[in-house]
Each structure stands twice: as structure tokens, then as C-alpha cells.
Amino acid sequence: MATLKEIIKCINILAKKKILDIFKKRIKIIDKKTHSKISKKVCIMHCVTDYPVPDQYSNINAIDTIAKLGFIIGYSDHTVGNHSSIIAVSKGAQIIEKHFTLSKNMKGPDHKASMNPKEFLKYTKILNKTVTMMGSGEKVPQKCELKNMKIARKSLVASKIILKGERFTKDNIAVKRPSGGLSTMMYFKILGKKSKKKINIDGLLK
């Protein structure tokens, strides 16, 4: 039920000094040293207080806004089901809170929005799988791809017989699997250059 300004005030109280400020929706870190120290100890949980929260009020994109404060991010999930928590994890939430009940028929405002043991077990498995699938975020070939790279990547090949001394043109070279020949990145660099030997159809350019 808080605004971003109120969250910043809370952080400053915890820090016992003003380390954050906001002006015209721009967040400013005033004391970087203190911020760095307490940001490792505090998790800010995005939460919408209703039991259960209707889908249209989940506002999970608020996690992106809160993350700009530079703290550990979490999500307090009061929705029905697991969709919102999966989205929250995909946005970097490291801590998830979900209400747990032994029976949804018990008295109290929280039970209908809570999960029973069977649902909770399935829920944690799904979230753990989501974390695994998120990966590191670094865009590099994955370990499972390495075995496929030689076959799946492509090379420059002759699309027709190329004689020795003949120039490479868009009409006599093509891009085909497998790799092992000249990189396809060289396509425009070799156009107009002369072949040093005869190359048969589908022969790799070296």
C-alpha cells in the first residue's frame, strides 16, 4: 500500500541517515557507501494488500521500479495460483512469500488466497524450475549447444562449379550447413575476389 517515496523514507530510517532521494521520479543515491552496506541486508518486497488480489491489480511491473533503488527484491504474492510469482522471479525477485494453509475452509481472511500443502509443493517446484530456466543472462553459446554448433552453423559454399581464377559473386556462392569452412561473416569481404583453385558444387570455401 506504499508509494515509492514512502519506501525511500523507510530505507532512510533503517539507514539512520538520508541515503536515497527522489525528484521528478528520478532516484538519487546520496550516500553510496552506506547504501552499499545496507543494500546487502535489506530486501524490499513488492506487495498488494488484498486477499486474494485480482489479477488486474497485481502490478508486477512495480518490481522493475523498486529494483531501481538498488536493493534485494522480493515479492509477496497474494494472488490465486502461481502465475504472478513466476513473473516476479523472471523480473529478479529473490525472495517469494506465499500464504500457506492446511485448509482453505478455515476462518480468517487469508485462507482462500493461500495454498494447501499439495499446491505449495507444486508451486515451489515450478518456481525453482523458473529460476533454473532464467540462466545467467550472459549471451554466449550454452553448454548444450556446443555439440550442435559444427552441424547447425553455416559456411560459405560454392552454389555452382567455380573455376580457378574465377571471381566470387552472389551467383556462385551460397550459405549452407555445416560449419568448418569460411565464416558466413566473410560473405561481403570475398565478393569480387578470385578463387585460387577449382571448387565443386557445395564445396566449402576455405
pLDDT tens profile 34-51: 999 999 999 999 999 998
CA distance 167 to 190: 9
pLDDT band at 24 (very low <50, low <70, confident <90, very high): confident
- As a CATH number, domain 42-134 is 3.20.20.70
Cis peptide bond N-terminal to 178, omega within 30: yes
CA distance 143 to 135: 12
Do 97 and 85 form a contact (C-beta atoms < 8 A)?
no
For the chain, the domains span: 42-134, 143-190
Phi and psi at 72, nearest 5°, equal -60, 140
CA distance 187 to 182: 9
Residue 112 is predicted with a pLDDT of 77
Q: Where are the beta strands (DSSP E) in 54-204?
A: 72-77, 95-98, 155-158, 173-176
SS3 state of residue 61: coil
pTM: 0.82
b/e map 25-56, b = 16+ CB within 10 Å = eeeeeeeeebbeeebeeeebbbbbeeebbeee
DSSP 25: T
CA distance 206 to 203: 9
pLDDT, tens only, 72-93: 999 999 999 999 999 999 999 9
